[in-house]
Amino acid sequence: MLGPVILAASRSDALRRTVSAAPVTKPVVDRFIAGESITETTPVVRAAADRGLEVTLDVLGEDVTDPAEALLARDAYLRLVDALAPLGLGPRAEMSVKLSSFGQALPGGHDLALKNATAVVEAAAAIGTTVTLDAEDHTTLDSTLAIHGELRERFPGTGAVVQSYLFRTEEDCRALAAAGSRVRLVKGAYKEPASVAYQDKAEVDRAYIRCLKILMAGTGYPMVGTHDPRIIAIAQDLASRAGRKIDAYEFQMLYGIRAAEQDRLAAEGHRVRVYIAYGTDWYGYFMRRLAERPANLAFFLRSLVTR
Ligand code: FDA
């Protein structure tokens, strides 16, 4: 029951200021965030590549409130592309983008987000890599999937994310499971109303498996975004039943979560991509990680009292 409370807190500006300023917060945040800058994050990318892992990089930021901020967010991604180029990892280092950081919620935001995303996707293509559009709250999904469709006309490798907690997602999976389409399936990390999303964890898990079946049976490239050991085993089984080779889908996990499992799957020959977030605007991302697992909250609270 704590999850929804923490997710509500993730939208509070007052709490954002308090938690962000607390001196004890940083070491706890560091478990999930690779660094505050590209310079701090590049060694983390190199270390992942040395472990045989692929990465997707997220410059932290969401829900910008004016077009100038959206441009700053776009420019941060363009600097990221410049930093990735000399690493020579090509598609092994891609990027994940939240369109709300590119101005999607502002007046005229759909076009603004499309314009900013196009600049980043073009720059990514120039160094041989791709961009995946993260899924945010359900009110943004139609716009995000439309932008995904528009970007795919010129850049077919642009990835989409679907959340199994939404009732609509099986249908979205059917529409997306087409040739050349990269689709990350996740359970979903936002607080959503019962009118659009399953509230019960078991139902979200069952929906995840139904969506996975659709993606694995399709002709696209499924990206299985989960740390759930049961679902990972089911994904392997569904992939082999669908006749997929081991490199015809991939697993994705978040930086700081189940690193040993990432290594185990990579050692078995699986493609494993780690989602690495960096930057200073970490509050929303961090709070969603706390909400996913109450034990993280206990860890966070303990760090406050044992100081
Ligand atoms: P579940 O929550 O059932 O966890 C299974 C197990 O994983 C737990 O028992 C625990 O061991 C471990 N675990 C999970 N979360 C943990 C945490 N925070 N800390 C420590 N251990 C944890 N969501 C979204 O709405 N939009 C998006 O674009 C994305 N993008 C995305 C990319 C990638 C690569 C991943 C892996 C996830 C996302 N998510 C996301 C988040 C996703 O929706 C979901 O909230 C988390 O992945 C947690 O769900 P699990 O599938 O891991 O299962």
Mutate to test the pocket of ligand 1, among 95, 98, 186 (most ligand atoms within 8 A of CB): 186
- Do 247 and 221 meet the contact criterion of CB atoms below 8 Å apart? no
Q: Is 106 helix (H, G, I), strand (E, B) or coil?
A: coil
Asked if residue 183 belongs to a domain, the reply is yes
Kindly state if the Cβ of 253 falls inside 6 Å of ligand 1: yes
Tens-digit pLDDT profile for residues 192-227: 999 999 999 999 999 999 999 999 999 999 999 999
Asked if residue 101 belongs to a domain, the reply is yes
Asked if residue 10 belongs to a domain, the reply is no
Q: Is 294 helix (H, G, I), strand (E, B) or coil?
A: helix
Kindly state if the Cβ of 15 falls inside 6 Å of ligand 1: no
Kindly state if the Cβ of 255 falls inside 6 Å of ligand 1: no
Tens-digit pLDDT profile for residues 6-37: 887 777 777 777 777 776 677 778 899 999 99
Domain count, the chain: 1
- Do 143 and 99 meet the contact criterion of CB atoms below 8 Å apart? yes
Find tokens 């060694």 and name the residue.
43
The per-residue pLDDT for 16 is 78
Tens-digit pLDDT profile for residues 113-144: 999 999 999 999 999 999 999 999 999 999 99
Find tokens 């420019």 and name the residue.
75
> Whole-angstrom Cα distance, residue 103 to residue 117?
10
- CATH classification at residue 62: 3.20.20.220
> Average pLDDT, stretch 56-66?
94
Asked if residue 94 belongs to a domain, the reply is yes
Asked if residue 23 belongs to a domain, the reply is no
Asked if residue 5 belongs to a domain, the reply is no
Catalytic machinery residues: 134, 184
Distance (angstroms) between ligand 1 centre and the Cα of 64 equals: 24
Kindly state if the Cβ of 166 falls inside 6 Å of ligand 1: no
Distance (angstroms) between ligand 1 centre and the Cα of 262 equals: 13
Asked if residue 4 belongs to a domain, the reply is no
Mutate to test the pocket of ligand 1, among 293, 296, 297, 299 (most ligand atoms within 8 A of CB): 293
Asked if residue 298 belongs to a domain, the reply is no
Kindly state if the Cβ of 254 falls inside 6 Å of ligand 1: yes
Q: Looking at the predicted complex, does its ipTM rise above 0.90? A: yes
Q: Name the phi and psi angles at 128, rounded to 5.
A: 75, 25
Give the bridge partners for 221, in sequence order.
Answer: 182
Mutate to test the pocket of ligand 1, among 168, 203, 253, 254 (most ligand atoms within 8 A of CB): 254
Q: Which domain holds residue 204?
A: 33-281
State how far Cα 265 lies from the chain centre.
19
Kindly state if the Cβ of 188 falls inside 6 Å of ligand 1: yes
pLDDT of 306 higher than 70: no
